[in-house]
Structure 1
């Protein structure tokens, strides 16, 4: 009798990324160009403050950007969770830690820009908004600090042998700042959905 068992090869994420990265880049670039064109066509040159008004909080597009940005930042944390709970073999099987760290960074940056536009950056985003907008402004400022910290941490990680001690100090600090962002973001979402904003 012949053996009819089928063996499945593990998914090679690196190979898939190399094969489809051009298409992914083209799709994301086209989307960015479309959104920019849409924003420019909806604004006037004389009234630059209205340039991104359709994408700020309280509008349909603004809420969509907020949901996309928050979803991307939450999903980006999956890398940290999977790494922390002791199942890094899944990460190794699916392309390695470096690939997943890069995916996490891209998702975090796209989420950062989506949330920043939702918050009114660059035209309605001023330091005076910090106290008048409460949790929303605090979440935005903490997100800005978290993103800068993440970029700095990536630099330390790339040069780990030389900066091992600095990385050991940076890592728990970054985790605390990231946790603060999620606390203030969830407080903002809760307040807005309860009708308090």
Structure 2
């Protein structure tokens, strides 16, 4: 029975890490592909109006790009944790966790500013302007759902780390994992659509 549990746990871990690698790889590819647009935004002179910080604004695009990379780099801690647990690699996880939290918090704030949350946020209802059967343009509204998934992943991650109840931590840990995986999918679609329809705000 114990062997079966261990084997099941190991397979589940492999599945989760595989999903993370796939999701991160897709986002990294899209971010690299989107670099020319980011470079152009660096060449532009922002007006520092509120609109510039949100969505397709010059500053907002910079924040989104840098914030996305920070969140991606923060995932190195997750891989380090798997190396320690399953391959007995000696790594000081406490230091990696500090880096993970710092990058996550900073990236999270930058992406939220990009989303206009809360000062100019238009997606308080997660599925606003999201038309699944409306073709590619109908999916542009996924940016709202993505913001809420990101918030869910951030809060559940923080509470699963710093929460007091062990049972609550376990529940939040699962919420965090699924929120993160859903965020990868939504972020990939959002970045792809941003590249495809750059004029859309």
TM-score interval (norm. to shorter): 0.5 to 0.7
CA contact (8 A) 2:152 2:176 kept: no
TM-superposed CA distance for 1:164, in Å, is: 3.4
User: Gaps (5+ residues) in structure 2?
Assistant: 1-45, 130-139
Equivalence map 1:3-42=2 (5 Å)? none
Whether 2:113 is the aligned partner of 1:111: answer: no
Q: Alignment partner for residue 147 of structure 1, among 118, 143, 154? A: 154
TM-superposed CA distance for 1:60, in Å, is: 2.1
Relative contact order, CA 8 A, sep 6+: which one is greater?
Answer: 2
TM-score by length of structure 2 reads 0.62
Q: Alignment partner for residue 172 of structure 2, among 170, 173, 185? A: 170
Equivalence map 1:55-94=2 (5 Å)? 55-85=53-83, 86-87=86-87, 89-91=89-91
Whether 2:144 is the aligned partner of 1:137: answer: yes
User: Gaps (5+ residues) in structure 1?
Assistant: 1-38, 44-49
Tell me the matched-pair count: 141
- CA separation of 1:122/1:166 partners in 2, compared to 1, >3 Å: closer, same or farther? closer
TM-superposed CA distance for 1:166, in Å, is: 3.1
Alpha-carbon distance between aligned partners in 2 of 1:88 and 1:115, rounded to the nearest angstrom: 35
Alpha-carbon distance between aligned partners in 1 of 2:58 and 2:87, rounded to the nearest angstrom: 39
